Amino acid sequence: MSKRNSQAAKQAARERLRVERERQAKRDKVKRQLVVAGSLVGVLAIAGGISYAVVQGNKPDHWEAAADAKLVKPAHTSGENGTTVVIGKSDAKKTLELYEDPRCPVCASFEQTVGKTIEKDVEEGKYKIRFIGASFLDRNLTGEGSKNALSALGAALDVSPEAFLAYKAALYSAEYHPEETDDKFKDDAYLIKIANTVDALKGDKGFQTAVKDGTYDKWALEMSEVFDKSEAQGTPTLMMDGEKLTGSDGQNAPMTVAEFTTAVDKALKA
């Protein structure tokens, strides 16, 4: 190879190397720009996410919002906030007050054992029954099942007192009542499923809409407040004429039909 050809080859090689370096430099610049842009998007996304989380965190939850909502009272109630629920014949001289929390397992046992006796006594006019619902287990165990079930009971009461009693019995039944730590009553679909086992509520679109829309959520909170301000220390609690009805232990609610009948008959004679 001549000296001239050798120099030309070297010059061509240097030129190719220069062009390649310029191309690589451009590629590196674009890559850096993409990294910076991606980082900026990531920072903005994180900042946006934090801002969204802060806004969402400052929003009231469903039940906080329900507390400020307009009160809708179920039919067949009385009192300033519709929290007086009395069922029975008007000429019955005395009223049995029953305090219950929907998630309460002892209430479920009581209803499964004594519930039919109470319904029979009320139907015969032996006494009226006043229901006071509680939701303290939502606070103690966390959750919303007690409040949600109370709201659904309000929807049942709006249909009729008979529907209310039948639905309450179904909620406390061995088949449908969950463990107290299982917040199953928070699920509207589950509450509606139970209602569909009650003749007076089966397929009732008005009832179902009220449950889904939370029509009586505010009422459920008002009812819970009545319990919180009462003398009842737990559930179930039975009162008549301001006196607590107890079983043979003298402390807790009567949990058998025999104990219940004895306690009620004594209170009716007082």
The model's confidence at residue 57, banded by pLDDT at 50, 70 and 90, is: very low
The model's confidence at residue 188, banded by pLDDT at 50, 70 and 90, is: very high
Residue in 99, 94, 140, 150 with CA at minimum distance from that of residue 121: 94
Burial 227-251 (b: 16+ CB within 10 A, else e): beeeebeebbbbbbeeebbebeeee
Q: What is the mean pLDDT of residues 162-168?
A: 98
Please provide the distance, in angstroms rounded to a whole number, between the alpha carbons at the two ends of the chain.
Answer: 131
Q: Does 151 score more than 70 pLDDT?
A: yes
Residue in 212, 155, 205, 154 with CA at minimum distance from that of residue 186: 212
What integer pLDDT is reported at residue 71 of this predicted model?
97
Look at 12 and 251; give whichever has higher pLDDT: 251
Q: What is the mean pLDDT of residues 189-213?
A: 98
91 with 233: CB under 8 angstroms?
Answer: no
Which residue is it, tokens 């009620």?
264
- At 140, which helix (H) or strand (E)? helix 136-141
User: For 205-233, what is each residue's pLDDT tens digit?
Assistant: 999 999 999 999 999 999 999 999 999 99
User: For 136-146, what is each residue's pLDDT tens digit?
Assistant: 999 999 999 99
Look at 188 and 28; give whichever has higher pLDDT: 188
The model's confidence at residue 76, banded by pLDDT at 50, 70 and 90, is: very high
The model's confidence at residue 61, banded by pLDDT at 50, 70 and 90, is: confident
Locate 138 and state its tokens: 């939502």
What integer pLDDT is reported at residue 178 of this predicted model?
97
Which of the residue ranges 44-48, 58-62, 155-159 would you say has the lowest mean pLDDT? 44-48
The model's confidence at residue 42, banded by pLDDT at 50, 70 and 90, is: very low
User: For 78-99, what is each residue's pLDDT tens digit?
Assistant: 998 999 999 999 999 999 999 9
Residue in 77, 63, 134 with CA at minimum distance from that of residue 102: 134
pTM above 0.85, yes or no: no
Q: Is the dihedral of CA 113, 114, 115, 117 positive or negative?
A: positive
Taking CA atoms, 18 is separated from 8, 12, 29, in Å, by 15, 10, 16
CA distance 199 to 171: 14
Which of the residue ranges 13-22, 191-200, 236-245 would you say has the lowest mean pLDDT? 13-22
User: Which 3 state secondary structure label does DSSP give 157?
Assistant: helix
For the chain, what is the mean pLDDT? 87
Q: Does 47 score more than 50 pLDDT?
A: no
CA distance 86 to 76: 8
Residues 6+ apart with CB under 8 A from 212: 188, 192
